[in-house]
Structure 1
Amino acid sequence: MNERCPWCGTDPLYVAYHDNEWGVPERDPRALWEKLVLDGFQAGLSWITILRKRDAFRAEFDGFDPERVARWDEKRREKALANPGIIRHRGKIEATIRGARLFLEIEEGEGFSPYIWSFTGGDAIQNRPETPADVPTATDASTAMSKSLKKRGFNFCGPVITYAFMQACGLVNDHLTSCPRHQPVRAMSVGG
């Protein structure tokens, strides 16, 4: 019985996200930063809400170009706060600007992708969940990532958010073993 992970339901946008993006190992630093930002905006909301607004977020946040976002001034912040196409939360917008600056610092040093992947030893964690109840909401690795990000100055990155980020970016394969995406995602990982 090959059934998709039940969390994506039947919404075509959610199904496409599940089938094409969720769990695929991501190594591009800017794509990782974008996803971390979007997961932070998700705090208190459902992922489908963010997914429906993702194009508007990309347009508003200069294509998630950290060099541009890091230079935002008050006028640019206010423009974002006035955009009904995104989540207009001042704290999350401020966190994104600060996060862009922090991303650039990390990228200049050890590199953002190696930093993020260091929490899994550089390789994807291959779980074998059989039911949704087998999938955790946070782990020791997501807690360590959360603490490290917060220590560096990031916000909206608690252990549950960082675990969702890890799942989405393929640091963890949490597709159910019965899901047709479990094995292909596993095969994409280093050491599969």
Structure 2
Amino acid sequence: QRKKLNLDIKNISKWGYNRKEIYFKKFEKFLKKTNYSNSEDIYTLGRIYMNDKSFERAYTVFKRDKNSDYRNLFGVATTARFLGKYGVSINYYQKLLSINPNFYKGYLGLGNSYKMKGNYPAALKNMKKYLAYEEDENVYIGMADIYIAQNKYDSAKNILEEAQSKFSNSAKIRKSLGEIYSKLGRG
């Protein structure tokens, strides 16, 4: 029978620092005793750390999963990206997507990691893959930002016009499109 740790996930964010630290140490001790063998427990603690904005701790915990659970791979990749470890992030997103290619949030994370490394073609490719699964106005705006960073204003205009046709009430897209039109001399 598996050892079980009693979790109080819902209330952690309301606790003070000392109480959180005691809880975190207890949870980490529990994971160590179980030799980090349970992906679900690793995911739970990693998620708690992420919600607490303790990204370094989350990164360390997610990385300990020996079973390559896709959620923990996503956790490692995402926290690595938040910590500016873009090469590590890219490797983990790629591993995640090789195991679970339909976990589409991985494409967005991979795209953002490539963007931060300055590999704009790879960033755009992965963001487009994400959009094939889920339309998101912010992803379109992010893609436009990539085109703008490359001085490709016509491409930025085109992607934003496509976004506007899908999100006709979006103030963010209207604002971005207005900025592009003014750069192109149509303002």
> How would you bin the TM-score normalised by the shorter chain?
under 0.3
Q: TM-score, normalised by structure 2?
A: 0.23
Report the TM-score when normalising by structure 1: 0.23
Tell which structure's C-alpha radius of gyration is larger. Answer: 2
The answer to which structure has the higher helix fraction is: 2
